[in-house]
Structure 1
């Protein structure tokens, strides 16, 4: 196990450097005039432009800029945005609300997907099974950029069931509608994977043996089938964290939630390279750590899996 963790940590380091390099290169190639984009229509004096260019090394070659960024990042300094605010301070403010939103979305999606997926597999071919397949097909065909404004208009504005926007100190109720919207981006896939996995395990030999020993159907399903069926689902949930973070850019923008996605979208619009790369670097770290935890959970769910 120790050797496996060390090997994975080395892979994570390489992945982190590769991801930050690609993002930094994309921002460097996309930059037109970030200082003017930040100022909008207001003019920038030549002295201001020279001072800001020197401060952010905008006149330096790409590799030199990347070296300055990584040098600061490895010492725990995410840098300073073009607005002059420390990126670490912005992350500290935005991260808790995005973490809360993503956690709510993961829990909502997992509860609905696992419950409906198991029941659909047990009642395969029935009305509930066919209905869930149609609903998941509709969800897969509708991107979150369509679902989010529709949900805000229908449930937030017209019906008034939920607040149409949320603040940085939003309550559970204020984040419930955005969390449900965000959960729809991963719900359909998780439900279908759960249904398929449970249906396959219900036909396995060990299930017939357990039933032959006199175990009840509920115990066979909850203890034996569900535990084996959750392995691919947990893998998917770990991968879905990245989808939730990318979906949060749209969701937080629509519901005006000042989280990571909202600030990331704002940084892209204003060509604030340091802010975008800093936020993406933090997201890459979270994504890598979560995937490592998911891999380690395999051994807990399936005793046959051992990392040597």
Structure 2
């Protein structure tokens, strides 16, 4: 287990540097005149332009800019946004909001997907299974750019069941509707994977043996089938974290949530390279850590799995 952990950490370090390099290259290639984009239609004085150009190393080649960024990053300095705010301070304000939103979305999707997937897997071909498959097909066909404003219009504006916008410091109640929208991004896939995994395990030899020993159906499903069926679901939840973060860019913009996605959207719109790079760097770290934790959980869920 220790060797596997060290190997995965080393692979994560290489992935981190590769991802940040390509991401920084994309931001660098996409920049046209970020200082003028920040100023808008107002003319930017030449002396101000010169000072800002030297401060953000915009007159230096790409490799030199990337070197400045990595030196600061390794010392815990994420740099300064073009709005003259420390990116670390912006992260301190944005990350708690996005974490609450993502955790709420994961809980909603996991509870609904696991419950519906188990029932569908046990009662394949029944009315519940057919209805669930139709609903998942509809959810898979709706992109987040359609689903988010549609949910806001129906449940937030017309029915007024939930707040249509979240505001500056949203609580769990204000994040409920955007969390449900985010959960819809991944819940359909999780239901189908859970259903297929449960149905496959119900046909396994160890299930027939457990039933032959006289174990109750509740014990067979709850102890044996469910534990083995959760392995691909846990994997999928870890992978879906990236989809939730990507969907948060649109969702936070629609529901006016001042989180990571909102800051990334603002940074892309204003060509604020330092802000975009800083936030994406943390997203890369989060994605690597979550995938490592998910892989280590395999051995906990299935004693047959050992990492040598």
TM-score, normalised with respect to structure 2? 0.99
Give 1:99's aligned residue. 99
Give 1:239's aligned residue. 239
Give 1:273's aligned residue. 273
Give 1:128's aligned residue. 128
Shift of 1:167: 2.1
Any gaps of 5 or more consecutive residues in structure 1? none
Give 2:60's aligned residue. 60
Secondary structure of 2:99's aligned partner: helix
Give 2:71's aligned residue. 71
Give 2:140's aligned residue. 140
Q: What CA distance in whole angstroms lies between the structure 2 residues aligned with 1:167 and 1:291?
A: 32
Give 2:208's aligned residue. 208
Q: What CA distance in whole angstroms lies between the structure 1 residues aligned with 2:168 and 2:109?
A: 23
Contact 1:24 1:277 in 2 (8 A): yes
Q: What CA distance in whole angstroms lies between the structure 2 residues aligned with 1:297 and 1:20?
A: 27
Q: What CA distance in whole angstroms lies between the structure 1 residues aligned with 2:38 and 2:195?
A: 49
Q: What CA distance in whole angstroms lies between the structure 1 residues aligned with 2:297 and 2:108?
A: 20
Q: What CA distance in whole angstroms lies between the structure 1 residues aligned with 2:185 and 2:41?
A: 37
Show CA shifts across 1:229-288 (max 9, x none).
Answer: 000000000000000000000000000000000000000000000000000000111111
Q: Which moved more, 1:197-206 or 1:166-175?
A: 166-175
Give 2:25's aligned residue. 25
Runs of 4+, deviation exceeding 2 Å: none
Shift of 1:41: 1.0
Give 2:46's aligned residue. 46
Q: What CA distance in whole angstroms lies between the structure 2 residues aligned with 1:42 and 1:162?
A: 40
Give 1:299's aligned residue. 299
Aligned Cα RMSD in Å? 0.6
Shift of 1:2: 1.0
Q: What CA distance in whole angstroms lies between the structure 1 residues aligned with 2:78 and 2:305?
A: 38
Give 2:183's aligned residue. 183
Contact 1:97 1:168 in 2 (8 A): no
Q: Which moved more, 1:168-177 or 1:81-90?
A: 168-177
Q: What CA distance in whole angstroms lies between the structure 2 residues aligned with 1:101 and 1:171?
A: 9
Any gaps of 5 or more consecutive residues in structure 2? none
Show CA shifts across 1:189-208 (max 9, x none).
Answer: 00000000000000000000
Contact 1:117 1:195 in 2 (8 A): yes
Q: Say whether 1:217 aligns with 2:198.
A: no
Q: What CA distance in whole angstroms lies between the structure 2 residues aligned with 1:231 and 1:40?
A: 51
Show CA shifts across 1:51-88 (max 9, x none).
Answer: 10000000100000000000000111111111110000
Secondary structure of 1:150's aligned partner: helix
Q: What CA distance in whole angstroms lies between the structure 2 residues aligned with 1:192 and 1:53?
A: 52
Q: What CA distance in whole angstroms lies between the structure 1 residues aligned with 2:213 and 2:279?
A: 55
Contact 1:168 1:259 in 2 (8 A): no
Q: What CA distance in whole angstroms lies between the structure 2 residues aligned with 1:204 and 1:151?
A: 41
Give 1:286's aligned residue. 286
Give 1:84's aligned residue. 84
Secondary structure of 2:162's aligned partner: coil
The number of residue pairs the alignment matches comes to: 308
Q: What CA distance in whole angstroms lies between the structure 2 residues aligned with 1:172 and 1:68?
A: 39
Shift of 1:179: 0.2
Shift of 1:171: 1.5
Give 1:257's aligned residue. 257
Q: What CA distance in whole angstroms lies between the structure 2 residues aligned with 1:168 and 1:207?
A: 52
